[in-house]
Chains A and B, each alone.
Chain A
Amino acid sequence: MRMAVQTVKLSFQIRGSDFVNAGEASSNTKKALSRIGLNPSVVKRAAIAMYEAELNAMIHAGGGQADVEIFPDHVVIQIADRGPGIPDVDLAMQAGWSTAPDIAREMGFGAGMGLPNIKKHADDMRIETIVGQGTTITIHILFA
């Protein structure tokens, strides 16, 4: 008989332009991953990748939804928004490219490192985007 895989699911709403609570979803996910005793470097990679995606949804897309599913050997983090979409993903992936508004830049955002940072810290990253409809970023982090 095949055993069902036990997973832990977390879900968070990301509010648009909410700079005060920005990063809370990532912070809570980090706590959940730490509690299960994962290697701190794995937890940090997941938290940083999720933080960048969370901030992108908050700054660029009027908010979105974060869904996290923790499997025995990996975690899948999905951030979905109904924002403007990304017209040129290759350009957006270039370090330094940013369309952040001035208010975000004044707070230290807009370095154009968001997507490159996700790619750097994730074991796998997928971007599904349709201009005018939204973007979904799926991040896989392996535990070993």
Chain B
Amino acid sequence: MKLEKLFSKMPCQILCAGSDLKRTIRGGYACDMLSWVVSRIDSGEIWLTILNSVNVVAVATLSECACVMLTESVEMEADVLSRAKEKGLTIVTTPLTTYEAAVSISRLLEAEQTTAGRN
């Protein structure tokens, strides 16, 4: 599923539109410890977190994740978003909890796979 399609099916707001909203998402990773994320998230996965400092931008860039989804309606400061824009990162925020967002993404990806399987 492409990022832009996922965003259209979830309650979320784009805070920073990165360089590739047509990027394909392959899954997600939920964690608020940077060293775990940088080491374990795969490129093409959505990172679910409540962290919103500039270090999130560094870790997301290094790990090449598909996008950062801030949960629980967490916002990001303008200077951090500006850094994200420089790096071509996509950042969105959702009112869902991390658990709810993960379940929602999982169901959407599964539904798309099922549909693709029928076609």
Which of A76-84, A86-94, A111-119 participates in binding chain B?
A111-119
Cα(A110)–Cα(B35), bound, Å: 8
* Least Cβ–Cβ distance between A48 and chain B, in angstroms: 5
Cα(A120)–Cα(B61), bound, Å: 20
**Total number of A-B contacts with CB less than 8 angstroms?**
68
Q: A30-B62, A108-B33, A111-B33 are in contact. Are A23 and B55 (CB under 8 A)?
A: yes
* Least Cβ–Cβ distance between A96 and chain B, in angstroms: 10
* Least Cβ–Cβ distance between A61 and chain B, in angstroms: 17
**Interface status of B70 (Cβ within 8 A of chain A):** no
Q: Is the CB of A23 within 8 A of B62?
A: yes
Q: Which of B84-119 contact A (CB under 8 A)?
A: none
**Interface status of A99 (Cβ within 8 A of chain B):** no
Could you say which residues of chain A place their CB within 8 Å of the CB of B56?
108
Interface string of A27-71 (1 = CB under 8 A from B): 100100000000010001001100110000000000000000000
Interface size in chain A (residues, C-beta < 8 A): 25
Interface size in chain B (residues, C-beta < 8 A): 20
Could you say which residues of chain A place their CB within 8 Å of the CB of B39?
48, 113, 117, 120-121
Q: Is the CB of B36 within 8 A of A23?
A: no
Q: Is the CB of A52 within 8 A of B35?
A: yes
Q: Is the CB of B62 within 8 A of A108?
A: no
* Least Cβ–Cβ distance between B26 and chain A, in angstroms: 15
Cα(A40)–Cα(B34), bound, Å: 21
**Interface status of B4 (Cβ within 8 A of chain A):** no
Looking at the complex, which one of A44, A51, A107 makes contact with B51 (CB distance below 8 Å)?
A: A107
Could you say which residues of chain B place their CB within 8 Å of the CB of A120?
39
Interface string of A15-29 (1 = CB under 8 A from B): 000011011101100
Could you say which residues of chain B place their CB within 8 Å of the CB of A19?
53-55
Q: Which of B37-68 contact A (CB under 8 A)?
A: 38-39, 43, 49, 51, 53-56, 58-59, 61-64
Q: Is the CB of B38 within 8 A of A108?
A: no
Q: Is the CB of B53 within 8 A of A107?
A: yes
Instruction: Return the chain B residue nearest A114 by Cβ.
Output: B35
* Least Cβ–Cβ distance between A113 and chain B, in angstroms: 4
Could you say which residues of chain B place their CB within 8 Å of the CB of A26?
58, 62
Cα(A120)–Cα(B38), bound, Å: 12
Cα(A112)–Cα(B36), bound, Å: 9
- Listed A/B pairs (7) with beta-carbon separation below 8 Å: A19-B53, A27-B62, A40-B64, A108-B33, A111-B35, A113-B33, A113-B35
